[in-house]
Every structure is written in C-alpha cells, then in structure tokens.
C-alpha cells in the first residue's frame, strides 16, 4: 500500500480538526450594546483555542515529517495511525473543557479539565514514541535516504520522551496547584514547537 492516500487522509483529518476548533467560538447572547464585554468574557476560550491550535499545528508538522520518511505502509501502521489520530480528535473536546472550566472558575473543574488535557497530550506523545519504535524495527518501510530514524532512534525518541515527562509533571502538579499545572502544560507545548523547529533545521542542513 502506498503512503500517498494515507498521508492525504491524515492531512485531511488534521486540517479539519484545526479548522473546526473555531466552531466552538459561539457568540453568547448578550444585551444590546454589550458585545465588547461578551467577547472579552470569551478570553479563556480564546486562550484555550490559541494553545490547542498551536498544539495541533505542531503535531501535524511532526506527523508530516514522520510520514514523509515512510516509503510504504503496513496494515499495522495504518491501524496505529488511526489510533494516534483518534487521540488527536479528542483535543477538540478537551479544549472546550479547558475553556469552560476557566470561565466558571471552579478550582475542581479546572483541575479536572487541565488534567484531561495533560493526560491526552501525554498519550499523544506516547503514540509518536510508539510510531518511532515500530518504524525502527521495520526499516523496510522507510525511504532509503532516510537516515534520521534508522541511525538515531535515541535522538528522535528524546523529544517525545521529554514531552511525556513534562505532561506527566503537569498532571502531577495540577493536583497541588492548577495554575502551576497549566504553566507546565504550556511549557510542554512550547517545547514541542521548539523541538520541531530544531529537528527540521537539522534535517534541512544535512
């Protein structure tokens, strides 16, 4: 099976997911003349939208770079890919949870919502680690000129492993202080973006 359609299908899912996030931005009913205030109160939703947009965007970039190194897919990889994408689709729900909990401001709600987000991000990073390990054991699926995974499984595994650590820490700290947990989550996502950037730059220069 060729990878073009698998890539197109995955790209489609990423493109749809990142775009329908904005459908959650529903304007609440507001008294005439109070539109500005109604919009300002959607601040938490905007924050949560930006964070999730960046996160899914970076996940797509990683997915893109990973699958551009694959020559051929297997039934196993197809199923793994569907599992990975399943976790990513849940980000939409997780984003609305985060926004709702910040808006209502209940600490128990925020703890639950942030924890769900952390857990999901932890599992998604885990799914990338799973991809890398599988591909390392199946060199025959990779492009012949792809040196990244073949020789440097340890290097490429480093980023998702650190991410998983950060998200696990966020999940833990979340139980002591929700804001500390949130900061760690944001750091995890920023770290994600920076690791993509660095990996891609290394590949460009080689």
14 versus 122: smaller Cβ distance to a copy of itself: 14
Give Cβ neighbours of residue 72 (< 8 Å, ≥ 6 apart).
Answer: 1, 2, 3, 140, 141
Contact between 61 and a copy of itself per CB under 8 A: yes
Specify the DSSP element, H or E, that contains 199. Answer: helix 178-205
Sequence-distant contacts of 18-22: CB under 8 A, at least 24 apart: 18/53, 18/56, 18/57, 18/60, 20/92, 21/49, 21/52, 21/53, 21/56, 21/92, 21/95, 22/49
Write the binding mask 66 to 95 for a copy of itself: x where contact by CB under 8 A, - elsewhere. Answer: --x-----xx--xx--x--xx--xx-xx--
State which of residues 44, 47, 64, 165 lies at the interface with a copy of itself (CB under 8 A). 64
**Residue 72 DSSP symbol:** B
Segment contacting a copy of itself (CB under 8 A): 99-107, 129-137, 158-166, 175-183?
99-107
140 versus 176: smaller Cβ distance to a copy of itself: 140
Nearest to 59 by CA among 148, 156, 114, 128: 128
Contact between 183 and a copy of itself per CB under 8 A: no
Q: Are 17 and 95 in contact (CB under 8 A)?
A: no
Segment contacting a copy of itself (CB under 8 A): 27-35, 117-125, 131-139, 176-184?
27-35
The binding site for a copy of itself (CB under 8 A) comprises 1-2, 5-9, 11-23, 25, 27, 32-36, 39, 50, 53-54, 57, 60-61, 64-65, 68, 74-75, 78-79, 82, 85-86, 89-90, 92-93, 96-97, 100-101, 104-106, 108-109, 112-113, 116, 193, 196-197, 200-201, 203-204
């Amino acid at each position: 099976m060729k990878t073009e359609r698998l890539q197109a299908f995955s790209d489609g899912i990423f493109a749809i997911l990142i775009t329908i996030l904005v459908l959650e931005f529903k304007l609440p009913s507001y008294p005439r003349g109070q539109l500005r205030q109604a919009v300002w109160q959607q601040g938490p939703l905007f924050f949560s939208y930006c964070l999730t947009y960046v996160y899914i965007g970076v996940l797509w970039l990683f997915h893109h770079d990973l699958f551009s190194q694959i020559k051929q897919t297997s039934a196993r990889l197809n199923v793994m890919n569907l599992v990975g994408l399943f976790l990513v689709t849940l980000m939409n729900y997780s984003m609305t949870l985060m926004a709702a909990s910040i808006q209502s401001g209940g600490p128990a709600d925020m703890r639950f919502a942030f924890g769900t987000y952390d857990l999901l991000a932890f599992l998604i990073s885990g799914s990338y680690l799973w991809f890398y390990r599988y591909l390392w054991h199946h060199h025959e699926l990779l492009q012949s000129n792809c040196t990244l995974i073949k020789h440097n499984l340890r290097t490429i595994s480093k980023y998702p492993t650190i991410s998983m650590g950060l998200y696990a820490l966020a999940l833990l700290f979340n139980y002591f202080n929700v804001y500390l947990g949130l900061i760690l989550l944001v750091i995890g996502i920023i770290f994600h973006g920076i690791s993509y950037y660095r990996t891609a730059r290394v590949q460009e220069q080689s």
